[in-house]
Amino acid sequence: MAVHRTYCDTLHEMRDIVKHLSVWNISRSAAVLSTLIEECQTYGNRMEAGLYYGGDLDRLHKKEKALRKAVSKLSEQLPDGHEEKPKDNLEYRSWEL
Protein backbone atom coordinates (compact mmCIF):
# COMPACT_ATOMS: atom_id res chain seq x y z
CA MET A 1 0.00 0.00 0.00
CA ALA A 2 1.43 3.36 -1.00
CA VAL A 3 1.93 5.99 1.66
CA HIS A 4 0.63 9.39 0.59
CA ARG A 5 2.56 12.24 2.16
CA THR A 6 1.55 15.83 1.76
CA TYR A 7 3.45 19.09 1.79
CA CYS A 8 2.06 19.83 5.26
CA ASP A 9 3.23 16.46 6.63
CA THR A 10 6.75 17.19 5.49
CA LEU A 11 6.70 20.68 6.99
CA HIS A 12 5.38 19.26 10.26
CA GLU A 13 8.28 16.81 10.42
CA MET A 14 10.72 19.64 9.70
CA ARG A 15 9.27 21.67 12.57
CA ASP A 16 9.61 18.69 14.91
CA ILE A 17 13.26 18.21 13.98
CA VAL A 18 14.06 21.88 14.54
CA LYS A 19 12.14 21.85 17.83
CA HIS A 20 14.14 18.86 19.15
CA LEU A 21 17.47 19.99 17.74
CA SER A 22 20.38 19.81 20.19
CA VAL A 23 24.14 19.43 20.24
CA TRP A 24 23.79 15.67 20.67
CA ASN A 25 21.72 14.99 17.57
CA ILE A 26 22.75 17.76 15.18
CA SER A 27 24.50 15.54 12.62
CA ARG A 28 21.59 13.12 12.33
CA SER A 29 19.01 15.93 12.34
CA ALA A 30 20.88 17.84 9.64
CA ALA A 31 20.85 14.81 7.34
CA VAL A 32 17.12 14.21 7.85
CA LEU A 33 16.36 17.92 7.54
CA SER A 34 18.18 18.17 4.20
CA THR A 35 16.16 15.21 2.91
CA LEU A 36 12.91 16.84 4.02
CA ILE A 37 13.89 20.13 2.40
CA GLU A 38 14.48 18.29 -0.88
CA GLU A 39 11.08 16.59 -0.53
CA CYS A 40 9.43 20.00 -0.03
CA GLN A 41 11.20 21.27 -3.13
CA THR A 42 9.83 18.32 -5.09
CA TYR A 43 6.30 19.07 -3.91
CA GLY A 44 6.74 22.74 -4.83
CA ASN A 45 7.99 21.84 -8.30
CA ARG A 46 5.00 19.58 -8.86
CA MET A 47 2.60 22.34 -7.82
CA GLU A 48 4.28 24.85 -10.14
CA ALA A 49 4.17 22.36 -13.00
CA GLY A 50 0.47 21.74 -12.37
CA LEU A 51 -0.25 25.46 -12.48
CA TYR A 52 1.75 25.86 -15.68
CA TYR A 53 0.12 22.92 -17.44
CA GLY A 54 -3.34 24.00 -16.27
CA GLY A 55 -2.82 27.44 -17.82
CA ASP A 56 -1.45 25.87 -20.97
CA LEU A 57 -4.48 23.60 -21.21
CA ASP A 58 -6.83 26.59 -20.92
CA ARG A 59 -4.92 28.37 -23.68
CA LEU A 60 -5.20 25.32 -25.94
CA HIS A 61 -8.95 25.01 -25.31
CA LYS A 62 -9.42 28.66 -26.30
CA LYS A 63 -7.36 28.13 -29.43
CA GLU A 64 -9.38 25.03 -30.32
CA LYS A 65 -12.63 26.97 -29.90
CA ALA A 66 -11.35 29.75 -32.17
CA LEU A 67 -10.23 27.24 -34.81
CA ARG A 68 -13.57 25.43 -34.75
CA LYS A 69 -15.33 28.77 -35.21
CA ALA A 70 -13.06 29.57 -38.17
CA VAL A 71 -13.77 26.16 -39.72
CA SER A 72 -17.51 26.68 -39.38
CA LYS A 73 -17.26 30.12 -41.03
CA LEU A 74 -15.24 28.70 -43.90
CA SER A 75 -17.64 25.81 -44.34
CA GLU A 76 -20.51 28.29 -44.70
CA GLN A 77 -18.61 29.92 -47.58
CA LEU A 78 -18.35 26.66 -49.55
CA PRO A 79 -20.23 26.56 -52.85
CA ASP A 80 -23.37 24.41 -52.97
CA GLY A 81 -21.72 21.53 -54.88
CA HIS A 82 -19.16 20.78 -52.17
CA GLU A 83 -19.92 18.52 -49.28
CA GLU A 84 -18.66 19.23 -45.81
CA LYS A 85 -17.19 16.49 -43.67
CA PRO A 86 -19.05 15.90 -40.42
CA LYS A 87 -17.46 17.66 -37.45
CA ASP A 88 -16.81 14.34 -35.73
CA ASN A 89 -14.43 13.34 -38.54
CA LEU A 90 -12.12 16.35 -38.29
CA GLU A 91 -8.67 14.98 -38.78
CA TYR A 92 -6.43 16.75 -36.29
CA ARG A 93 -4.69 15.89 -33.11
CA SER A 94 -5.27 18.15 -30.11
CA TRP A 95 -1.52 18.37 -29.36
CA GLU A 96 -0.82 19.78 -32.83
CA LEU A 97 -2.88 22.93 -32.22
Q: Identify the pLDDT of residue 55.
A: 79
Q: Per residue in 58-95, is it b (16+ CB within 10 Å) or e — as a string?
A: eeeeeeeeeeeeeeeeeeeeeeeeeeeeeeeeeeeeee
Rounded CA separation 43/35 (Å)? 13
Rounded CA separation 7/41 (Å)? 9
Q: Identify the pLDDT of residue 90.
A: 54
Q: Identify the pLDDT of residue 87.
A: 59
Q: Identify the pLDDT of residue 38.
A: 92
Q: Identify the pLDDT of residue 41.
A: 92
Could you tell me the mean pLDDT of each successive run of 10 residues in the chain, 97 residues long? 76 89 85 90 88 82 90 81 58 53
Q: Can you give the C-alpha Rg of the chain in angstroms? A: 27
